[in-house]
Structure 1
């Protein structure tokens, strides 16, 4: 197959819009009725009417009795299969859009994997036996970072706070006073798994004054709330597109300060000639003017990343963040009004992440069972039970990306309310509806 100009990619990518319904039909043959999430195929966000399958113009009327896909229609999927490798210039242009999204002058590298790739790569590049790290734990990812740091040989001081709250700048300052040797700080901005968000701007001031290298996981926060590496003094800021950005999970990005590059260069244990290596990207990509890629990029994921950034630019980043803030406020207010013992898991609204809202299941009710009942009525709802030790007590409403809409919030609370009523609890669906509507206004 001959090469393609970058302009061809947009035409090719736009052509995928014409096969959304085909994909819905194909997936329905191997998944339960209604189990496919239309927004994952690029269909516009759903309304309450959409969820009941009455708005057939939305392009995803629900139903299972669909005829087999013909060879002719299968051929339409070829745009997924015959893409030429993405050019270095196009790859760099997508990186530049991410740079603008982060309002940073730092180097930004897009890595060809889920965000765990740069998250681990950044730690292994900058931490080692001589490192004393303050690892803030407000959820499971903070725990994971501590494990990686120890595996690198670093001395780790864990600052753990209850998952229903957020860490404070004062707590970080106290940790520095007690352990002045700290030269590395790892922090998760928003923990979608626990529903909290941390005050990075305030913490950044304290970290900058102490002089430690600042590592931030902003995977769940980017697109839902401000992420400003330069203004906050963040040296390593990792983002992923799969949550509030409404994009693919298969690629991610990290912004790297000059201090962080210097720390890597001085670290004999930093990965080299490895998929984890950030130094390889600097040496072979950044320092050489981004003229030749290290390897063949993931074309579909890169095009999807470009498309989701383009969608954010079109809507406006402030508007996207406002949608997430409203979704969080509406979910929180609606859950309280619903009653039945359902309550926010994060105590203070100011500590609650706008990307997802976590709820505490009513006393004596298994959260997993409640979520299963809610999903039995509507399998595409963005509802999950908590993970690990929180599986029986926490419910998570993932109102991010295209699901940050009033219709999705209403539908989630209605389904949870119906499941609670089925379990014998007294709830008020109308009060919940009024509360969510008021919070969104």
Structure 2
């Protein structure tokens, strides 16, 4: 018996390379793009371990949990790490980065998360990139949550290592990811004796066994289903138009934010300024006396498919996430989420204005 997920023809090297080329066009980059055969944590960790080590002084910008993880990896590599911790309700600024370079001119590596879906903020990468470029530091960017929701332009921003994943705004699979690598970053890896080699974390292995050979023979069997799903999701973005996809996410964010404010009951945006709020997901602060995780659980009881989640770790008590990305970047998903949250708040005896919230959300959708 046949099955659509089984008995597939082998994925050729030429087709694999064509998917890489399409991802490169999505990022408007001329850098090498490597599709890694695993979730985005694979190239995120591999890129740090490949380029950082003893002698590296790294500025690690923390605007959410992933920034904290990057600092751990950098320290594990032997790098000297200067953490710039920014309150999760805001974004980093170019002035903060400039001040860090002034205080620590030895910084040669900067790690930054573009958009933190976990905290709902987005950082001004173009402005920060200008500062990093002035100081000739290597620039590492996690754009997993931002790609497809807002512009991601490694070449224009001077990003040396840009990691993306397809599982959020791109609406694709989680099992493969990609990284664009500048010539400077390749040179840094080649000169780093501690860079992973003959390892699943190794970007150098992909360069030597895949890129340097003209992308004629794959170094190992590819994750076929995930590659086909990635190809399909890029095709869909191309058909819709990247600007259209990004506009849909911006509208979902604006509608969710406006609707939550109008809903009342003390519910408010977690990220204070709308311009610092990520289009990929909106985070909300639960009303005083309400545990966010309990409120979300009650809202999901009406429909477990709603794109709602509580914040992770300690944030579970105060943060609600509306994950309006990918297939959920729609007016219907925003409306259903506001309705479920309104009902859960009303059950607790709080005064909500659901009609006003839905109206505000509809008016904010642009």
Global fold match (TM > 0.5): yes
Q: Contact (CA 8 Å) 1:85, 1:297: kept in 2 or not?
A: no
Which digits, 9 at most, give the CA deviation of each residue in 1:302-325, with x for residues without a partner?
000000000000000000000000
Residue 92 of structure 1 aligns with which residue? 17
Q: Does 1:227 align with 2:152?
A: yes
Residue 184 of structure 2 aligns with which residue? 259
1:426 to 347, 351, 355: 351
Cα root mean square deviation, aligned: 0.6
Residue 402 of structure 1 aligns with which residue? 327
Residues in 1 aligned to 2:8 and 2:134: alpha-carbon distance in whole angstroms: 49
Residues in 2 aligned to 1:81 and 1:376: alpha-carbon distance in whole angstroms: 35
1:347 to 243, 262, 272: 272
Q: What's the offset of the Cα at 1:81?
A: 1.6
Q: Does 1:290 align with 2:215?
A: yes
Alignment of 1:2-17 (within 5 A): none
- What SS does the aligned partner of 1:391 have? helix
Q: Contact (CA 8 Å) 1:114, 1:252: kept in 2 or not?
A: yes
Residues in 1 aligned to 2:345 and 2:256: alpha-carbon distance in whole angstroms: 16
Which digits, 9 at most, give the CA deviation of each residue in 1:279-333, with x for residues without a partner?
0000010011000001000110000000000000000000000000000000000
Residue 140 of structure 1 aligns with which residue? 65
Q: What's the offset of the Cα at 1:82?
A: 1.1
Q: Does 1:162 align with 2:101?
A: no
- What SS does the aligned partner of 2:35 have? strand
Q: Does 1:111 align with 2:44?
A: no
Which digits, 9 at most, give the CA deviation of each residue in 1:105-128, with x for residues without a partner?
000000000000000000000000
Residues in 1 aligned to 2:298 and 2:349: alpha-carbon distance in whole angstroms: 13
- How many residues matched? 366
Which digits, 9 at most, give the CA deviation of each residue in 1:324-380, with x for residues without a partner?
000000000000000001000000001100000000001000111100110000110
Moved >2 Å (runs of 4+): none
Residues in 1 aligned to 2:302 and 2:332: alpha-carbon distance in whole angstroms: 16
Which digits, 9 at most, give the CA deviation of each residue in 1:266-288, with x for residues without a partner?
00000000000000000010011
Q: What's the offset of the Cα at 1:415?
A: 0.3
Q: Contact (CA 8 Å) 1:284, 1:294: kept in 2 or not?
A: yes
Which digits, 9 at most, give the CA deviation of each residue in 1:384-419, with x for residues without a partner?
000001001000000000100001000000000000
Residue 51 of structure 2 aligns with which residue? 126
TM-score (norm 1): 0.83
State which structure, 1 or 2, has the greater radius of gyration over its C-alpha atoms: 1
Residue 58 of structure 1 aligns with which residue? none
Which digits, 9 at most, give the CA deviation of each residue in 1:128-168, with x for residues without a partner?
00100000000000000000000000000000010000000
- What SS does the aligned partner of 1:215 have? strand
Q: What's the offset of the Cα at 1:84?
A: 3.0
Alignment of 1:209-224 (within 5 A): 209-224=134-149
1:245 to 149, 163, 170: 170
Which digits, 9 at most, give the CA deviation of each residue in 1:29-80, with x for residues without a partner?
xxxxxxxxxxxxxxxxxxxxxxxxxxxxxxxxxxxxxxxxxxxxxx46x121
Residues in 1 aligned to 2:94 and 2:150: alpha-carbon distance in whole angstroms: 18
Q: What's the offset of the Cα at 1:83?
A: 1.5
Q: What's the offset of the Cα at 1:85?
A: 2.5
Which digits, 9 at most, give the CA deviation of each residue in 1:232-253, with x for residues without a partner?
0000000000000000000000
- What SS does the aligned partner of 2:355 have? helix
Q: Contact (CA 8 Å) 1:335, 1:342: kept in 2 or not?
A: yes
TM-score (norm 2): 0.99
Residues in 1 aligned to 2:48 and 2:293: alpha-carbon distance in whole angstroms: 34
Structure 2 residues not aligned, in runs of 5+? none
1:416 to 333, 341, 362: 341
Residues in 2 aligned to 1:368 and 1:144: alpha-carbon distance in whole angstroms: 23
Residues in 1 aligned to 2:305 and 2:100: alpha-carbon distance in whole angstroms: 44
Q: Does 1:318 align with 2:240?
A: no
Residues in 1 aligned to 2:176 and 2:24: alpha-carbon distance in whole angstroms: 15
Q: Does 1:306 align with 2:222?
A: no
Q: What's the offset of the Cα at 1:195?
A: 0.2
2:104 to 179, 183, 198: 179
